[in-house]
Amino acid sequence: MKLKNPPIIESVCEFRFDNNLKPITLLYETIKEYVVSQDMVIEKQVDVLAANDGNDDKVSTKKNEYPRFVLNENKTMFVVVKNNVVSIHRKKIGDYPDWENFCPIVKKVYNFFTKEHIQITRFGFRNVNILKTNKKKEEVSFSDYFNFNISNALWKDNQIKSFTYGVILEEKTGFARIQFADLLKKGDENVEFLFDMDFFTTENTLDFDEWLYDVHESSLEKLRRVIKDGVLEYYD
């Protein structure tokens, strides 16, 4: 049974490949009927060089800019092109991100790779979730919300360290991983868990349309395996 209002805030479909993408104009021509504007996204990269001589580690930062093709007026759906990654994003507004608008773009991008003979090394379909609680930080227990345990090293003094929890799914679907970030908290508000559920495969001979349909249809069911039933009642 699907959730009426799942905790998903963004869905992302990602293609990775070995070599840098051919001229971006080729990709643009493929999806231009959907593009309403173009801009750049900026990501900050932090590199830490560990010092072995007792001195402080050396930290360097730089900003990377990547082209973004915006697909609707409110900028909730867009395509980002990096060196060897193309990702299609759909942010949630109101209900679950509408698959009918999102899926055709994903298939268009996949067909672009096929036409240009660009070998994809990884398909990924990722849902970003925020699980809300009704408790303050000092009252939160990880085991009250999730169906698996984590070590004390990851959960200490009601703080969670960023970590990855990996699970193997059916061979047909590939693999999945759950990436947790720090607890979200603003002032004295109740805390929230931020985590990704990333479904992916490195099998590039599969039927992509079938794989995409399967992971989309099963993603909320997989979410139910991870989160306690009583917690999900809030989203039904």
Q: Which residues pair with 126 in a beta bridge?
A: 12, 198
Please, what is the end-to-end C-alpha distance for the chain in angstroms?
9
pLDDT at 105 (0 to 100)? 92
pTM of the model: 0.82
204 vs 14, residue with greater confidence: 14
pLDDT at 108 (0 to 100)? 92
- Which H helix or E strand runs over 138? none
In a domain, 207, yes or no: yes
In a domain, 56, yes or no: no
In a domain, 53, yes or no: no
In a domain, 49, yes or no: no
Domain around 110? 8-43+62-235
Q: What is the dihedral of CA 155, 159, 11, 20, to 10 degrees?
A: -80
Q: Is the pLDDT of residue 144 over 90?
A: no
In a domain, 87, yes or no: yes
In a domain, 1, yes or no: no
The amino acid at residue 38 is Q
**Mean pLDDT calculated for residue range 19-35:** 84
Tell me whether residue 123 is exposed, middle or buried, using C-beta atoms within 10 angstroms of its C-beta: 0 to 12, 13 to 18, 19 or more: buried
Q: Which residues pair with 15 in a beta bridge?
A: 86, 123
220 vs 96, residue with greater confidence: 220
Q: How confident is the model at residue 171 (pLDDT cuts 50, 70, 90)?
A: very low
In a domain, 22, yes or no: yes
- Provide the domain count of the chain: 1
In a domain, 200, yes or no: yes
pLDDT at 50 (0 to 100)? 60
- Which H helix or E strand runs over 59? strand 58-70
